Chain A
Amino acid sequence: MIRVQGIHKSFGEVHAVRGLSFDARDGRITGLLGPNGAGKSTTLRILCTLLKPDQGTAIIDGADVIADSRGVRRRIGSLPHDSGLYPRLTARENIAYYARLCGLDKGLIENKVDSIIETLEIGDFADRRAKGFSHGQRTRVALGRALVHDPQNLLLDEPTTGLDVMATRSLRELIRKLKDEGRCVLFSSHVMQEVAALCDDICIMAAGRIAIHDSVDGIRQRTGRDDLEEAFLAALAMVEKD
Chain B
Amino acid sequence: MGILFQVFRKEVVDNFRDRRSLLTAVAMVAMFPLLMASLIGFQIDRSFDTETELISLPVIGAEHAPSLMRYLESRHIDIVAGPADAEAAVETGEFDVVLRVPGNFGEQLAEMIPAKVELYLDQANTAGDADVGRVHDALFGYNQTLASIRVSARGVNPNLLRPLNIDTIDVSTPSGRAAILLGMMSYFLLFSLLMGGMYLAIDATAGERERGSLEPLLSLPVTRTHLILGKIAACVVFMAFSLLLSLLSWFVALRFMPLTQIGMTPNFNLPVVLAAFLLLCPMFLVGASLMTLIASFTKTYKEAQTWLSFAILAPTMPILIVSFLNLRPRLEFMFVPSLSQHLILVDMISNEPINGLHAAISVASTFTLGVLLAWACVRVYHRETLLG
Chain A interfacial positions (CB closer than 8 Å to B): 45, 48-52, 70-71, 73-74, 76, 78-89, 93, 97-98, 100-103, 129, 142, 145-146, 149
- CB nearest to B214 among chain A residues: A84
Nearest B-chain residue to A71, judged by Cβ: B221
B219 touches A50 (CB 8 A): yes
Q: Is B49 at the interface (CB under 8 A from chain A)?
A: no
Contacts of A142 in B (CB 8 A): 216
Q: Pick the residue among A52, A76, A88 that contacts B219 (CB under 8 A).
A: A76
The residue that B3 contacts in the complex, of A73, A80, A101, with Cβ under 8 A, is A101
A–B pairs, 20, beta carbons within 8 Å:
A48-B219, A50-B215, A50-B218, A73-B221, A73-B222, A74-B221, A78-B215, A80-B219, A82-B211, A84-B211, A84-B213, A84-B214, A84-B215, A88-B18, A89-B13, A101-B220, A101-B222, A103-B221, A129-B17, A149-B220
B384 at the interface (CB under 8 A from A): yes
Flag if B219 contacts A85 (CB, 8 Å): no
Residues in A with CB closer than 8 Å to B211 are: 82, 84, 86-87
Known contacts: A52-B384, A89-B10, A103-B2. The answer to whether A80 contacts B220 by CB under 8 A is: no
The 7 A-B residue pairs with the shortest CB-CB distance, nearest first, are A82-B212, A84-B213, A84-B212, A74-B221, A73-B221, A88-B17, A48-B219
A78 to B212 alpha-carbon distance, docked (Å): 13
Q: Are B219 and A86 in contact, with the CB atoms below 8 A? A: no
- Interface residue? B359 (CB, 8 A): no
Q: Is the CB–CB distance between B221 and A102 below 8 Å? A: yes
Option from B212, B217, B218 in Cβ contact (under 8 Å) with A83? B212
Q: Please pick, from B18, B212, B220, the residue contacting A73 in the complex, using a CB distance under 8 A.
A: B220
Interface assignment of B107: CB less than 8 Å from any CB of chain A = no
Contact partner, B221, options A70, A93, A129, Cβ 8 Å: A70
Q: Does B223 contact A (CB under 8 A)?
A: yes
Chain B 282-319 per-residue mask, 1 if CB under 8 angstroms from chain A, else 0: 00000000000000000000000000000000000000
B387 within 8 A of A: yes
Q: Which label, helix, strand, loop or mixed, suits the secondary structure of the B interface?
A: helix
Query: Which residues 1-57 of B have a CB within 8 angstroms of A?
Result: 2-3, 6-7, 10, 13-14, 17-18
Q: Which residues of B contact A149 (CB under 8 A)?
A: 220-221
State in angstroms the CA–CA spacing of A81 and B211 once bound together: 11
A170 to B212, CA, bound (A): 23
In the complex, what's the smallest C-beta–C-beta distance from B381 to chain A, in angstroms? 12
**B residues bordering A, Cβ < 8 Å?**
2-3, 6-7, 10, 13-14, 17-18, 211-223, 384, 387
Chain A residues with Cβ below 8 Å from B218 are: 48, 50
Chain B residue at minimal CB-CB distance from A74: B221
- Which residues of A have CB within 8 Å of B220? 73, 98, 101-102, 149
Residues of A within 8 A of B2 (CB): 103
| Chain B contacts for A129, CB-based, 8 A | 17
In contact, B384 and A50 (Cβ under 8 angstroms)? yes
Contact pick for A86, options B14, B221, B387, CB 8 Å = B14
Which residue of the partner chain B has the closest CB to A70?
A: B221
Give the CA-CA distance A146 to B18 in the complex, in Å: 25
A80 pairs with B216, CB closer than 8 A:
yes
CA distance A35 to B212 in the complex (A): 22
B385 to chain A, nearest CB (A): 10
A61 vs B28: C-alpha distance when bound (angstroms)? 54
Q: How far is the CB of B60 from chain A (nearest CB, A)?
A: 69
List 17 extra interface pairs beyond A50-B384, A82-B211, A89-B10, CB under 8 A. Answer: A50-B387, A73-B219, A74-B221, A78-B219, A82-B215, A84-B213, A84-B214, A85-B213, A89-B14, A93-B13, A97-B10, A101-B217, A101-B222, A102-B222, A103-B2, A142-B216, A149-B221
Contact A80 B212 (CB under 8 A): yes
Nearest CB in chain B to that of A47: its residue: B219
- With beta carbons under 8 angstroms apart, the residue of A73, A80, A87 that contacts B215 is A80
For B217, the chain A residues whose CB sits under 8 A away are 84, 101
Shortest A133–chain B CB gap in Å is 13
CA distance A146 to B387 in the complex (A): 19
In this complex, the member of A87, A100, A101, A103 whose beta carbon has the largest number of chain B beta carbons within 10 angstroms is: A101
Give the distance in Å from the alpha carbon of A73 to the alpha carbon of B7 in the complex: 18
Q: How far is the CA of A86 from the CA of B10 in the complex (A)?
A: 10
What residue of chain A has the Cβ atom nearest to residue B385's Cβ?
Answer: A11
Chain B nearest CB: distance from A157 CB in Å? Answer: 9
